[in-house]
Amino acid sequence: MPTGLTDAVLDTLPTRIAVIDETGRVAESNAAWETFTTEHDHPLVPDADGPYLDALRRSPNEQAVAVAGRLQSLFDAGADANGEYLFHADGEGESLIVRYAALEYEGNRYAVVTYVGRATPTETAADLRLKERAMDEAPVGITISNPSLEDNPVVYANDAFERITGYPVEEVVGKNCRFLQGEDTDPETVAQMRRAVDNWEPVTVEVRNYRRNGEEFWNQVTIAPIYDEEGEPSHYVGFQQDVTDRKRAEESLETERNRLALLNQIVRHDIRNDMAVALGWGGELADRIPDEDADAFERVMTAATHTKELTEAVGDLAQILGTNDPELEPIALDDVLRREIERVRSNFDYRSAEIDIRGDDDLPGVTVRASSILSSVFGNLLDNAVFHNDKADVEIVVDVVVNEETVVVRIADNGPGVPDSRKRGAFGRGEKGLESSGSGLGLYLVDNLVETYGGQVWIEDNEPTGAVFCVELRRA
């Protein structure tokens, strides 16, 4: 193709094309390049005279200097090479794709460079304005800092940051965010953030900060590095969220847990010990009670036994409420059931002739996922079968059905049963039955514990009379 025709073709292209020789000067260029260099105020159009690459190297714009380095590398490499550099939008809103390649011609080496527009100036500027407006109206505080500058100052802060901290944006820009710290700010938390910034790592912390008026607040801060087009970290973005209300709620909950722990200590130690002494002496007197006083003696012993079991239930309930996520472990179900059945027999030995518990002779050996207080589930259900029974002779049958993934324990009694209308409500806090004077905490405790273990509990009818309390647990 004739040289003149080649030049005419290149001049029709909108892409800015130039050929640079080894001196760094522009040896050839098309019309789009000439228009770009004469009519645009752009960092890639240096004001200085002389070789083009020298002018780019002396530019105050870091990206222009980077482009000069890429083009110079084509001469230094001594072999064919090409590449691409993404030039960020400048003040006029224009972003460019800089493509470059080495060219050997008649024994000389050249660098061919093209500048391709990534978007029209109007589109890019509108996009930038949209992003900035989105950040300004975000419900969380946003800051951008530049660690390459002395003391890592804030270069951008949105309106939400001002609402949260009370500091106007114009007072924030140019400062390090440590101005939010105060007397009770945890130095270790601050050090954790500093280490993350030094290592260009993301981090999330909750730190005690102070507003402009001196008011203390809890700030959930997330900071993360921002990377440039070459994959190098250049800035840090920070997100701030006022979590004071949540922290106060957590502190209030911790106070309640401490109170529950104190209640647990009083109930499980002092009251339980006193009732154990009363039951022990009552057992000593069982054989010496006259027949005419046997009924009254049984009522006293039943009430004392119920009180002792109630202290256990309250203590276990306090333990549940004081634990966010109890750790579950494999528990041998048959051991727990045998132990609780024997406990009930022992507690009611003053009336053992009237209580018949069956099913503990052939319990299957299976483990379930639960905690150390699984015994409270079956202890409360067995106690319930005794206390809320209106028959002279109490009969209880324990049965275990092992499935592939679950185990169902069925505790059947011959009591008055539970109407359908109360089968679910029986597990509510404060529910009672059979004109009971008890607290109703037992079944509430059972329901909460089983739910914690990932299981479920329900009530069925027994034949010919009574109720069956069913507990489904997950196998370990």
CATH number of the domain where residue 197 is located: 3.30.450.20
Give CA–CA dist 294/292, Å, rounded.
6
Q: Are residues 70 and 146 in the same domain?
A: no
Q: Has residue 69 been placed in a domain?
A: yes
Give CA–CA dist 373/450, Å, rounded.
11
Q: Are residues 79 and 97 in the same domain?
A: yes
pLDDT at 78: 58
Q: Are residues 339 and 381 in the same domain?
A: yes
DSSP 407-461: EEEEEEE-SS---GGGTTGGGSTT---TT--S-SHHHHHHHHHHHHTT-EEEEEE
Q: Are residues 95 and 116 in the same domain?
A: yes
Domain boundary pick from 191, 222, 242:
242
Give CA–CA dist 469/460, Å, rounded.
7
Q: Has residue 325 been placed in a domain?
A: yes
pLDDT at 25: 92
pLDDT at 319: 60
Nearest to 53 by CA among 39, 73, 38, 81: 73
Q: Has residue 131 been placed in a domain?
A: no
User: Torsions phi, psi of 342, nearest 5?
Assistant: -65, -35
pLDDT at 259: 75
pLDDT at 81: 64
Q: Are residues 238 and 252 in the same domain?
A: no
Q: Are residues 95 and 184 in the same domain?
A: no
Give CA–CA dist 438/307, Å, rounded.
9
Domain boundary pick from 242, 266, 283:
242
Q: What is the pLDDT along the chain (476 residues), one digit of tens a residue?
A: 345 566 776 777 788 899 999 999 999 998 888 888 887 778 888 877 789 999 999 888 888 898 998 898 888 755 556 778 878 755 544 678 888 888 888 888 888 999 887 654 444 555 556 666 777 778 899 999 988 888 899 988 898 999 999 999 889 989 999 999 999 999 999 999 999 988 889 999 999 999 999 999 999 999 999 887 677 888 999 999 999 999 888 888 887 777 766 666 666 656 666 777 777 777 778 778 887 887 788 777 777 776 776 666 666 655 655 555 667 899 999 999 998 898 888 777 665 567 889 998 889 999 999 987 888 889 889 988 887 888 888 999 999 999 999 999 999 999 999 998 888 788 875 454 434 444 456 788 788 889 989 999 999 999 999 999 999 999 99
Cβ proximity of 382 and 396 under 8 Å = yes
CATH of the domain at 319: 3.30.565.10
Tokens (6 digits) for 379 = 């202890």
**9: containing domain:** 3-122
Q: Are residues 172 and 292 in the same domain?
A: no
Q: Are residues 285 and 394 in the same domain?
A: yes
Cβ proximity of 100 and 134 under 8 Å = no
Per-residue pLDDT reduced to its tens digit, 262-305: 666 666 656 666 777 777 777 778 778 887 887 788 777 777 77
pLDDT at 317: 59
* Domains held by the chain: number: 3
User: Torsions phi, psi of 19, nearest 5?
Assistant: -115, 125
pLDDT at 433: 44
Per-residue pLDDT reduced to its tens digit, 7-28: 776 777 788 899 999 999 999 9
pLDDT at 435: 40
pLDDT at 344: 82
Q: Has residue 176 been placed in a domain?
A: yes
Q: Are residues 363 and 252 in the same domain?
A: yes
Q: Has residue 130 been placed in a domain?
A: no
Give CA–CA dist 328/300, Å, rounded.
38
Q: Are residues 363 and 396 in the same domain?
A: yes
Q: Are residues 105 and 151 in the same domain?
A: no
Q: Has residue 128 been placed in a domain?
A: no
Q: Are residues 257 and 212 in the same domain?
A: no
Q: Has residue 279 been placed in a domain?
A: yes
Helix (H) or strand (E) holding 223: strand 216-227
pLDDT at 80: 56
pLDDT at 15: 83
Domain boundary pick from 93, 122, 151:
122
pLDDT at 436: 44
The CA distances from residue 232 to 56, 61, 198, 225, 228, in Å, are: 21, 17, 14, 10, 5
Q: Has residue 283 been placed in a domain?
A: yes
Nearest to 171 by CA among 152, 180, 220, 222: 180
